[in-house]
């Protein structure tokens, strides 16, 4: 790059290149470039978190473990927490529950905690904030939210959905927990509640827009895709990583985020 174009690579160049290689599944090349970059501070943390997510997506637990070790060396609590949760989730996906528990235990010992998860939706200039499992956040609409979720779950099962809305799910105990440290996730995640509320109060034909302060978990992402096809409406979610545009059963991120 420097010899051909006279441009010295900066941290964003390295991070973008590592991200592209990761998306293409060329993880060994991405890992070599990450080491070659020799970045420091938050630039390095961003790079290694990007590579860690790619390793998890492509189910390369060996490289994910090494990237996770690099992430754990930093002191930026919130960004380190996000990376270590990804590492824990990778272990869960691989069936290595003991290793996942060890990562969580290490986080607790170091005092590393993620911000509590929440999602919000704006209706007629009024924001409505939702937390995991807190049906009461829907106020007078709470009963209708529960009934709508039951109805949607039934329709999703007809389309092959195997998750469980509105109940404790063992698979979600380590999946981007919104209620840190409770062992199992009780109730639906905050973005699902915000979506159900939006389906009730946002006029048909209008796009439902949800904001979330954490990364969407894979189950919620699948739920949003399924519901977009069932109700034939468009949803836009802005999570910690990116914008997701759900339409007719698919997402603009192509399941990579």
**Domains defined along the chain, listed by start:** 2-109 (1.25.40), 118-251 (no CATH)
How would residue 187 be classed by pLDDT, with cut points 50, 70 and 90?
low
Q: Which of 25, 24, 42, 44 has its CA nearest to residue 34?
A: 44
Give the tens place of pLDDT for each residue, 68-78: 999 998 877 77
What pLDDT sits at residue 164? 65
Q: What is the pLDDT of residues 96-145, one digit of tens each?
A: 999 999 999 999 988 888 778 899 999 999 999 999 888 888 889 999 99
User: Is the model's pLDDT at 175 over the cut of 80?
Assistant: no
- The helix/strand/coil state of 180 is coil
**Residues in CB range of 109: below 8 A, 6 or more apart:** none
Lowest mean pLDDT among 1-15, 48-62, 149-163: 1-15
Closest by CA to 190, choosing from 171, 214, 167, is 214
- What's the pLDDT at 138? 86
Q: Which residues of 24-58 are buried (b: 16+ CB within 10 A; e: fewer)?
A: eebbeebbebbeebebeeeebbbbbbbbbbbbbbb
pLDDT band at 94 (very low <50, low <70, confident <90, very high): confident
Place of tokens 């473990």: 65
């Amino acid at each position: 790059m420097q010899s051909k174009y006279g441009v010295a690579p900066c941290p964003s160049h390295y991070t973008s290149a590592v991200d592209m290689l990761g998306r293409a599944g060329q993880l060994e090349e991405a890992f070599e470039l990450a080491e070659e970059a020799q970045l420091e501070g938050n630039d390095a943390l961003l790079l290694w978190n990007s590579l860690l997510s790619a390793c998890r997506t492509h189910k390369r637990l060996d490289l994910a473990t090494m990237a996770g070790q690099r992430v754990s060396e930093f002191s930026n609590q919130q960004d380190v927490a996000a990376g270590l949760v990804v590492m824990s989730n990778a272990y869960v996906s691989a069936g290595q529950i003991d290793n996942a528990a060890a990562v969580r235990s290490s986080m607790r010992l170091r005092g590393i905690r993620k911000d509590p998860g929440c999602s919000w939706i704006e209706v007629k200039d009024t924001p409505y904030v939702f937390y995991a499992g807190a049906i009461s956040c829907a106020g007078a609409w709470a009963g209708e939210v529960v009934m709508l979720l039951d109805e949607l779950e039934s329709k999703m099962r007809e389309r092959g959905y195997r998750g469980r809305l509105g109940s404790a799910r063992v698979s979600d105990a380590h999946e981007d927990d919104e209620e840190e440290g409770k062992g199992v996730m009780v109730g639906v995640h905050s973005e699902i509640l915000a979506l159900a509320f939006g389906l009730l109060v946002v006029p048909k034909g209008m796009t439902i827009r949800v904001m979330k302060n954490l990364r969407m978990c894979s189950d919620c992402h699948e739920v949003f895709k399924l519901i977009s096809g069932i109700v034939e409406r468009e949803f836009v979610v802005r999570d910690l990583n990116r914008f997701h545009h759900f339409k007719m059963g698919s997402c603009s991120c192509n399941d990579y985020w």
